[in-house]
Every structure is written in C-alpha cells, then in structure tokens.
A and B are shown apart, each in its own frame.
Chain A
C-alpha cells in the first residue's frame, strides 16, 4: 500500500516525540489502544491552570499511519484550550493525512488519545482540589 506524502513526512520527521513527567499535576496522560491490536498511543499534554495546552509529547507503537496521526495531533493541540482540543475529530485527522479506509482506526485512536489525556488532567485537578478543600 502506498502512503500519502503527509503520512510519510510525519513518519520520517515525527514532531514532539518524548515523555513529560506524569507526576506533574499539570500533565495529563492518555494511553489508548492495545498491543494485541498492533497500536498503542500515549499522548501527554502539559496544560496551564487556565486550561491552555502548552506542550504535547507522544510515543506510539503502531504503523506509519498511527505514528503520523499522533505526530499531527501534537502539533494541532499546542496553544489550544482544552475545550478546543476536545473538538478535534478523527475525520479531520484522517482528511489531513489522506488516510485510506483501513487506516481510519489510527485517526480514531488519535482522537481518543486527546480526550484521554484531557480526562486524566481533569481527574488530577479534581483530586487536587478535593485534597485542598479537605486540608483547609
């Protein structure tokens, strides 16, 4: 199967590969997919207290399209608010990368990763606030 130019470009020069400190209260980590299915994405977002995504890092086990999808969303989410990032859909990702039908699940995974990372951040914040209100 031939890959689109954009998939190849992201695959060969992936943006924002790496790891953020998951114990940092401002870092949300989303881990989606399954090794048995052949793709696992980990997206980490550093989100400011006022809800703006300042940094994004990913690591992905998966095919070229999965890696390209992850790389693309790290570019897209930076600078966006949490609410704006949640609006990103798999359709937009698939369209941008010209993914063929058999690779649509890679874009679904990328969308899920954004949502999971934000969910994790919100959960951490809620726990922090609960702890703060308990101690006060």
Chain B
C-alpha cells in the first residue's frame, strides 16, 4: 500500500483529475480576463465563468446570478457577516451564531463587537469631556465614569442608541451532540437581530445542523439566515430553497476542487443585500471586486458538477468506510468515545477520543496516516479544541481526540490498514500511560489533586 495515507479530508481534499483537466486550458491558451468585453479572449473566459457559475448554483439549488465568487470560505464568511451588518445597520445590530462555528465566523463576529465597543468608548470620552469641561486623559476615563455615574447617564444612553457601527453577537451553546436547540435559538432572536449564522456541518465533529427548521424560524421572524456550508456541501443534502437560506458560504477545495476559490450565495428573491468588504472594479455585481480567478472558477464548477451527480452514491460508499473504521476501533479497543452525534453526522467524519492517550503522541505514532487532533499540542494556542469543549467534552478527553476524515479517494484496504495501526499504537501508548494503569487499578482520576501547569 502507498504511504502515507490521507485521511484528513475536512482539512482539504485532493484535486480530482477530472477537475484538473477542465482547468488546464484556462491556465494555458484561454488565459483571458473575464471582464474584457471586447475580444475573444475575454469572451471565452466569461463564457467559462458563467458555465461554472451555473454548475455551482445547481449544486445548492440556487440561480446562477445568486453566486458571488470569492477567494474561499473564509472570505465568504467575512463578507456575509460584515457585509450584512453594514448594509442592514439601520434595521438592527444583533447577530446570533454558535460557539462551535468556524473561526472565520467567530472572529468576524468579534471584530464587529470590537468596532461597536470602540465607538461606545469614543462617545464615553466625549461625554466626559463635556461634563468636565476639559481634556480627559484615557487613563482617567474609568474613574471619571464612576464619578459621573455614566452607566446611568441619559445623554450617553441616547448617544449610544444611535451607534450604527459593528454589531452585538450572541454565541449560543450547543447540546451534547453538537446540535443547536431550536428553542434556545428562537429565544436568542430579538427585534434588533438582523442575521442568524449556523453552519451546515461542523469541521471537527461533522455534526449536521437542522437547517430547514432554522430557515423556517428565521423567515418567520424576518431575520436573515446565513450558513457556512463548506463541510457539508456535496456530502449531505443542501438546498437554499427548501432550507430558506439567504446567504451561504461554499468553497472548492473541500469538494475535490482547487484551493483559493469559493463563493457566497446571495439570495435574489426576496432580495438580500450586502455591503462589499473589498472595493475596486465592481466585479460580481459590486459585491466582490477583483479580477476573477478563471481557472479556479472553472475547477470549482467542474467539482460542483461531479459532487452533484455523484453525491448519493459516493456518500453511501464513504459512510460504509467510516462505519467499518468505527466498528474496528470500537471492537478492538476499550474506552473509545465518539464525539458528536452519530445520527446527524457527515458520512466521512469520525471523531473519537482514545482515553488515556494523548492525541499528538498518537498522531506521531501513526505518522504514515494523515489525520488531525483536538489536542492542545497540535494547536498554536496550546488550548484544546474549542468545539469539543463547547460540547462539554472534558479537557483530558479533548486532548485524546483524533479526527478521521474519509473522502472520495479512500479505499477499504486503507481503512483496514489505518484501523490496525491505530489499534496497535493506542495499545502501546496505553502501556506507557500512567492514567491507563491507574484507571485499571480503580483509581478515580478525578479524585487526584493534579498540579495544573
């Protein structure tokens, strides 16, 4: 068997050879700029882009003129949140999302909150200058604010009510299986809410959210509904019409297309508007300026077409592989815990914690297999996975988690090799683990006064 084995298809996927073939002419002779309206090079590029736009639209049940090409899902998420917050700021200033969303959503939300906060700080300073009749040094603001009881100041409250910059964001907890509670979501929506953003499927635990129910709720409450659909598109059913989705982020490289190309779906009926975050030549109906990445777009279109026509058969095959892997690991090892929902889950996702074994150590032991871990040691921040923590997974179990991401090019033989390797190495590492020994001796690990470091 050829090593290493790639089983990290949530991170990215291999370029399908059919996609590469479709792209090549646009990297060679058909290099034209799709915005060149007066010669054949431009026309050919434009025709290719429009065909791809239709292919991407068809995958998600949209119309071609509802697709805005971007550099990828991170940009699409930024554009959806920041663009909607800016455009609808006279309507409201509140966004609802989940704690388990991708960082592109969470950090866009944080920036919007910071923008609003900074504006409020400026108003506080102005009010204090007015009250004291002179200059106010930044280091004196807190003391003066207390002195003048600014938190009860009606003038400042009136000023704050006209702030239109940034947004307030609610980050909802999820249930134990990673799904959002519709009741909690409904309760979080206020008359100031402009947007709800809930992902189709989670990148770590593969949990699929009840988008159709959320879409119905948002439509009834007159709130826009955005979904980061990156991980689920082409793997589980996704349809912007039946799910009543207004904005959706998708990307090519998770569906065997090239990196650096994605799209934001923006609904036309009823019309949804967003302010651009990149200004320039007014491409993509003014929503995303910048010369189109023609070869990338063509690849995205081809990948979308393959995903649409082959999804049903492919997802069934990948689910069978995933279940084969799960059955092998769980029957041959004790204390293997599945993270997230089994029922509402991407077919290719298996996220498990091997108790008493640290994730990075296991990844090192199976170095011929590319997987990923929620262990802190694999992240730059030294914090274990925030997604697993949001599910209520204990920190030690988060450190012990491994994510297997099965995809189009994985085989049954690969699954068997990986299962055998993981079982052997987990056993070996447990022999080396003081925690496993203590647990087997019946020591309650929670009763020990550990020294946090």
Contact = CB atoms under 8 A, between A and B. Distances in A.
Contact of B364 (A3, A32, A40, A61): A3
B450 A35 contact: yes
A40 B399 CA distance: 12
Chain A interface main SS type: mixed
Contacts of B453: 32-34, 37, 105, 108-109
Sorting the interface of chain B by its residue count into under 10, 10 to 19, 20 to 34 or 35 or more gives: 20 to 34
Interface stretch (A11-19, A119-127, A128-136): A11-19
Contact of A42 (B396, B399, B434): B434
Given A33-B451, A108-B453, A17 B431 contact: yes
A63 B434 contact: no
B450 A63 contact: no
B377 A38 contact: yes
Contacts of A66: 358, 361
Interface in A66-120: 66-67, 102, 105, 108-109, 112
Interface in A1-41: 3, 8, 11, 14, 17, 19, 31-41
A33 B432 CA distance: 15
A59 B437 contact: yes
Interface in A41-70: 41-42, 59-64, 66-67
A38 B434 contact: no
B445 interface: yes
A59 to B, nearest CB: 4
A36 B360 contact: no
Nearest to A108: B453
B450 A17 contact: no
A36 B364 contact: no
B347 to A, nearest CB: 30
Interface string B356-400: 111011001000000000011100101010000000001110010
Contact of B358 (A17, A34, A38): A38
A3 B364 CA distance: 9
A30 to B, nearest CB: 11
A61 B382 contact: no
B291 interface: no
Contacts of B452: 34, 36-37
B434 to A, nearest CB: 4
Contact of A63 (B358, B432, B436): B358
Contacts of A39: 358
B129 interface: no
B382 A63 contact: no
A105 B380 CA distance: 14
A59 B361 CA distance: 13
B433 interface: yes
A106 to B, nearest CB: 9
A19 B435 contact: no
B399 A35 contact: yes
A31 B434 contact: yes
Nearest to B364: A64
Given A19-B437, A32-B453, A64-B361, 5 more contacts: A11-B364, A36-B395, A40-B434, A61-B356, A63-B377
9 contacts: A34-B451, A34-B453, A60-B433, A61-B433, A63-B358, A64-B361, A66-B358, A66-B361, A112-B451
